[in-house]
Amino acid sequence: MPSTRNKADVEYAVMLAVLNFQKKFMQSNYSHVQVQLLENQIVVDLTRTAPIPAAERLAQTQEGQAQLKQMHQSLFTAGQDILKKQLEEILGRKISEMVTDLEPLSGKNTIVIRRNEAIFSPP
Protein backbone atom coordinates (compact mmCIF):
# COMPACT_ATOMS: atom_id res chain seq x y z
CA MET A 1 0.00 0.00 0.00
CA PRO A 2 1.48 3.37 -0.94
CA SER A 3 2.43 5.49 2.06
CA THR A 4 0.43 8.43 0.66
CA ARG A 5 -2.87 6.68 1.37
CA ASN A 6 -4.53 7.65 4.60
CA LYS A 7 -7.03 5.71 6.70
CA ALA A 8 -10.04 7.31 4.97
CA ASP A 9 -8.68 6.34 1.52
CA VAL A 10 -8.23 2.74 2.65
CA GLU A 11 -11.71 2.61 4.22
CA TYR A 12 -13.24 4.01 1.03
CA ALA A 13 -11.39 1.51 -1.18
CA VAL A 14 -12.47 -1.36 1.09
CA MET A 15 -16.08 -0.12 0.99
CA LEU A 16 -16.06 -0.03 -2.83
CA ALA A 17 -14.52 -3.51 -3.06
CA VAL A 18 -17.08 -4.99 -0.64
CA LEU A 19 -20.02 -3.27 -2.40
CA ASN A 20 -18.78 -4.47 -5.78
CA PHE A 21 -18.44 -8.03 -4.47
CA GLN A 22 -21.91 -7.89 -2.90
CA LYS A 23 -23.51 -6.56 -6.07
CA LYS A 24 -21.73 -8.70 -8.66
CA PHE A 25 -21.16 -11.99 -6.83
CA MET A 26 -23.76 -12.08 -4.06
CA GLN A 27 -26.41 -10.23 -6.13
CA SER A 28 -27.25 -8.04 -3.11
CA ASN A 29 -27.70 -4.29 -2.95
CA TYR A 30 -27.05 -2.23 0.14
CA SER A 31 -27.95 1.38 0.91
CA HIS A 32 -25.66 1.91 3.88
CA VAL A 33 -22.13 0.68 4.44
CA GLN A 34 -19.94 1.39 7.44
CA VAL A 35 -16.25 0.43 7.43
CA GLN A 36 -14.25 0.42 10.64
CA LEU A 37 -10.51 0.04 10.25
CA LEU A 38 -9.20 -1.35 13.54
CA GLU A 39 -5.70 -2.44 14.51
CA ASN A 40 -5.74 -5.95 13.06
CA GLN A 41 -9.21 -6.20 11.56
CA ILE A 42 -11.72 -4.41 9.39
CA VAL A 43 -15.40 -4.56 10.26
CA VAL A 44 -17.85 -3.85 7.44
CA ASP A 45 -21.55 -3.43 8.28
CA LEU A 46 -23.99 -3.43 5.37
CA THR A 47 -27.69 -2.54 5.47
CA ARG A 48 -29.97 -3.58 2.61
CA THR A 49 -31.52 -1.11 0.19
CA ALA A 50 -34.85 -2.88 0.57
CA PRO A 51 -35.88 -6.15 2.20
CA ILE A 52 -36.23 -9.22 0.03
CA PRO A 53 -39.86 -10.37 0.44
CA ALA A 54 -39.03 -14.10 0.36
CA ALA A 55 -36.23 -13.64 2.91
CA GLU A 56 -38.52 -11.59 5.16
CA ARG A 57 -41.11 -14.34 5.11
CA LEU A 58 -38.53 -17.06 5.71
CA ALA A 59 -37.07 -15.09 8.64
CA GLN A 60 -40.37 -15.34 10.52
CA THR A 61 -39.39 -18.75 11.92
CA GLN A 62 -36.26 -19.94 13.76
CA GLU A 63 -35.74 -22.64 11.13
CA GLY A 64 -36.09 -20.07 8.35
CA GLN A 65 -33.58 -17.77 10.04
CA ALA A 66 -31.09 -20.63 10.31
CA GLN A 67 -31.60 -21.46 6.62
CA LEU A 68 -31.02 -17.83 5.60
CA LYS A 69 -27.83 -17.62 7.65
CA GLN A 70 -26.57 -20.92 6.24
CA MET A 71 -27.33 -19.89 2.64
CA HIS A 72 -25.66 -16.51 3.13
CA GLN A 73 -22.56 -18.15 4.65
CA SER A 74 -22.35 -20.71 1.85
CA LEU A 75 -22.62 -18.02 -0.86
CA PHE A 76 -19.97 -15.88 0.82
CA THR A 77 -17.61 -18.84 1.27
CA ALA A 78 -18.01 -19.77 -2.40
CA GLY A 79 -16.73 -16.37 -3.53
CA GLN A 80 -14.62 -15.10 -0.68
CA ASP A 81 -11.39 -15.70 -2.62
CA ILE A 82 -12.51 -13.03 -5.11
CA LEU A 83 -13.04 -10.47 -2.34
CA LYS A 84 -9.91 -11.56 -0.47
CA LYS A 85 -7.72 -10.97 -3.53
CA GLN A 86 -9.16 -7.48 -4.06
CA LEU A 87 -8.74 -6.54 -0.42
CA GLU A 88 -5.16 -7.84 -0.28
CA GLU A 89 -4.34 -5.63 -3.28
CA ILE A 90 -5.89 -2.62 -1.52
CA LEU A 91 -4.17 -3.32 1.79
CA GLY A 92 -0.88 -4.49 0.35
CA ARG A 93 -0.99 -7.20 3.02
CA LYS A 94 -2.22 -10.78 3.38
CA ILE A 95 -5.57 -11.43 5.05
CA SER A 96 -5.64 -14.32 7.53
CA GLU A 97 -9.42 -14.73 7.84
CA MET A 98 -12.75 -13.36 6.63
CA VAL A 99 -16.06 -14.17 8.27
CA THR A 100 -19.57 -13.00 7.59
CA ASP A 101 -22.76 -12.93 9.61
CA LEU A 102 -26.29 -12.15 8.53
CA GLU A 103 -29.02 -10.92 10.85
CA PRO A 104 -32.02 -12.53 9.11
CA LEU A 105 -34.68 -10.27 10.61
CA SER A 106 -33.02 -6.97 9.72
CA GLY A 107 -31.04 -8.14 6.69
CA LYS A 108 -27.90 -6.54 8.16
CA ASN A 109 -24.72 -8.19 6.97
CA THR A 110 -21.42 -7.92 8.83
CA ILE A 111 -18.08 -8.94 7.35
CA VAL A 112 -14.99 -9.13 9.56
CA ILE A 113 -11.61 -9.18 7.82
CA ARG A 114 -8.69 -10.19 10.05
CA ARG A 115 -4.92 -10.12 9.84
CA ASN A 116 -2.30 -11.44 12.23
CA GLU A 117 -0.55 -8.06 12.11
CA ALA A 118 -1.66 -4.42 11.96
CA ILE A 119 -3.81 -3.61 8.94
CA PHE A 120 -2.89 0.03 8.66
CA SER A 121 0.18 1.82 9.84
CA PRO A 122 -0.25 5.60 9.77
CA PRO A 123 2.65 7.59 8.28
- Confidence at residue 120, expressed as pLDDT on a 0 to 100 scale: 62
| Entry pTM | 0.86
Confidence of residue 4 (pLDDT cuts 50, 70, 90): low
Q: Which DSSP symbol is given to 14?
A: H
- pLDDT exceeds 60 at position 1: no
Q: What percent of the chain has pLDDT over 70?
A: 93
Domain 7-114 is found in CATH 3.40.50: no
Residue 109's φ and ψ, nearest 5 degrees, are: -120, 130
Average pLDDT over residues 83-102: 94
CA neighbor of 33 nearest in space, from 53, 55, 11: 11
Name the more confident of 50 and 120.
50
Q: So what's the pLDDT on residue 35?
A: 95
Position 123 pLDDT exceeds 60: no
Cα dihedral: 46, 50, 52, 56 (round 10)? 80
Query: At a CB cut-off of 8 Å and minimum separation 6, what does 44 contact?
Result: 14, 15, 18, 33, 34, 35, 36, 110, 111, 112, 113
pLDDT at 27 over 60: yes
pLDDT, mean of residues 57-79? 94
pLDDT: is 109 or 51 the higher one? 109
